[in-house]
Amino acid sequence: MTSPVPPPARPSDPDLLALALDIAEEAGRMIATAREGTVTVADRKSSSTDVVTQVDRDAEALIRQRIAEARPDDGFFGEESGGGEGSSGLTWVVDPIDGTVNYLYGIPHYAVSIAVVEGPADPAHWVERVGVVLNPASGETFTAVRGGGAFRGGRALRIPSPPTLDQALVATGFAYDAELRGRQGAAVARMLPRVRDIRRLGTASLDLCNLAAGRVDVYFERTLNPWDHAAGGLVVQEAGGIVVGRAGAAPSRDFLIAVHPELLSAVEDLLDDIEA
């Protein structure tokens, strides 16, 4: 009687990170090269301003193919091509070009975002294992391994002690839905006199990494998808920050807040006041 074949050994997180980094760098080169040419809108998604380019699609296809070649039993969940369950218990959560509107306009602030999570591609139930956020225009690369810290290039990241909220620099973003965007704009107008200033940079994954690097003190946004924050969220957590929804919930399309733990309750009170 033949003994059952044991499942393939789960790779170490550093090995998963090395693979994710290789794939992000290859996709980053493709994206940067394409940006030297003409980039046009291939299609519109949730609204007339929610656009996708052919480069988004080609980059995701390349990333998905490399993952399937190296890790055929893993699941995949990507912005442009959706998802497929795997048998290994690991899922790759991918945004090939986070900040597509910046990419379309040639604003050098967009990123390849790749995370590997344990469990389903659902922020309420997943455990992020590794994350890579790479800006092909600047070459800046953020990485994190659960329990292994967060890095910008080779430099370890640690969120600095936060200022008081009235001195805080706040990053945020707006939805593709015009009506909601109007309400978000009104809420931000109410917030402005109560913080240092806001930054709207257009790329959630880099907003999260900027928080981890101490470049902003607070980041919050609504209507984000799991691929927008899977990798950047782990970078924040491994740098000593927290990534949550409102009132103790998990981060979701409803709300995501990333901040130093000591500043969370003041931020929640402010969000209540401005009806964000």
Residue among 228, 234, 268, 276 that touches ligand LIP (CB under 6 A): 228
Q: How far is the CB of 273 from ligand LIP (least distance, A)?
A: 22
x/- mask, ligand LIP, residues 21-60, rule CB under 6 A, reads ----------------------------------------
Using the contact rule CB under 6 A, the part of the chain among 94-102, 130-138, 157-165, 236-244 near ligand LIP is 94-102
95 binds ligand LIP (CB under 6 A): yes
Kindly provide the residue ranges of all beta strands, DSSP E only, lying in the chain, ordered along the sequence.
41-44, 51-53, 75-78, 82-84, 90-98, 111-118, 127-134, 141-145, 149-152, 155-156, 169-172, 197-199, 218-221, 242-244, 256-259
80 binds ligand LIP (CB under 6 A): no
Residues contacting residue 66 through CB under 8 Å, at least 6 positions apart: 22, 23, 26
Give the chain's largest Cα–Cα span: 75
Residue with smaller CB distance to ligand LIP, 18 or 32: 32
Residue among 162, 173, 233, 251 that touches ligand LIP (CB under 6 A): 173
Residue written as token pair 């959630």: 204
Put the strands of the sheet holding 90-98 in their side by side order: 82-84, 75-78, 90-98, 111-118, 127-134, 141-145, 149-152, 155-156
Distance CA 276, CA 274 (A): 5
Give burial (CB, 10 Å; 0-12/13-18/19+) of 29: exposed
Residue among 28, 99, 123, 251 that touches ligand LIP (CB under 6 A): 99
Residue with smaller CB distance to ligand LIP, 110 or 126: 110
Q: Are 188 and 180 in contact (CB under 8 A)?
A: no
Q: Binding to ligand LIP (CB under 6 A): which residues in 178-217?
A: 202-204
274 binds ligand LIP (CB under 6 A): no
Q: How far is the CB of 209 from ligand LIP (least distance, A)?
A: 12
Using the contact rule CB under 6 A, the part of the chain among 14-22, 171-179, 210-218, 260-268 near ligand LIP is 171-179
Which positions touch ligand LIP (CB under 6 A)?
A: 79, 95, 98-100, 173-174, 176, 202-204, 221, 228
